[in-house]
Amino acid sequence: MSAIWVAGLPLIAGAVLLARVVTRRGRSGMYILAGVGALLMAGAVGLLIAALAAGPAAAGTAAAGTATAAGVKIAAGSAATSGNSAALLGAAIAVAGSTIGAGIAVAYAGAAALAVMSERPELFGRAMVIVGLAEGIAIYGLIIGIILIGKA
């Protein structure tokens, strides 16, 4: 599973490099990035709709078929598959929600911390503690996600 993430790292690095090159074009570069983001979002929504409309996966059907051959009820296999997908969906929602919330919190706390430090530099430590507390929200969501994946 981790090999998939490692294989995707060059793609992520390439996307970041491309975004930096495109944004140097000024305002038109930002419009290009916004358009690409909108296309990716539309594609993701299309995939989500297709996944929700498709029903159970072929692997789940094959697993239920082998369970029948072993003398186990099919309903138990389908219940386990739906329970796993619910746990994974819950983990995704927990991580996504906490990350978005942490991003909003860090945006406001970071801006306020910079404003305070520009007037009184000796308050650097206190300001960074507040920003760190805001970042902790994402860590809590990640922990919940890991717990839910462990239950799947």
**Residue 140 has what pLDDT?**
92
| Alpha-carbon span 119 to 96, nearest angstrom | 35
Q: What is the pLDDT of residues 6-38, one digit of tens each?
A: 777 787 787 778 888 877 877 887 788 788 888
Tell me the three state secondary structure of residue 152: coil
Axis crossing angle, helix 74-119 with helix 58-69, rounded to the nearest 10 = 140
Residue 2 has pLDDT above 80, yes or no: no
pTM here is: 0.48
Q: What is the pLDDT of residues 50-76, one digit of tens each?
A: 877 876 655 455 445 444 444 444 444
Residue 113 has pLDDT above 80, yes or no: yes
Secondary structure letter of residue 56 according to DSSP: S
CATH label, 74-152, candidates 1.10.760.10, 1.20.20.10, 1.20.120.530, 3.40.190.10: 1.20.20.10
Return the residue matching tokens 């419009």: 31
| Alpha-carbon span 85 to 63, nearest angstrom | 15
Return the residue matching tokens 């305002």: 27
**Residue 60 has what pLDDT?**
52
Return the residue matching tokens 């409309």: 53
**Residue 51 has what pLDDT?**
77
Secondary structure letter of residue 85 according to DSSP: H
Are the beta carbons of 149 and 87 closer than 8 angstroms?
yes
Task: Give Rg (Cα) of the chain.
Answer: 22
Q: What is the mean pLDDT of residues 99-115?
A: 91
More confident residue, 88 or 26: 88
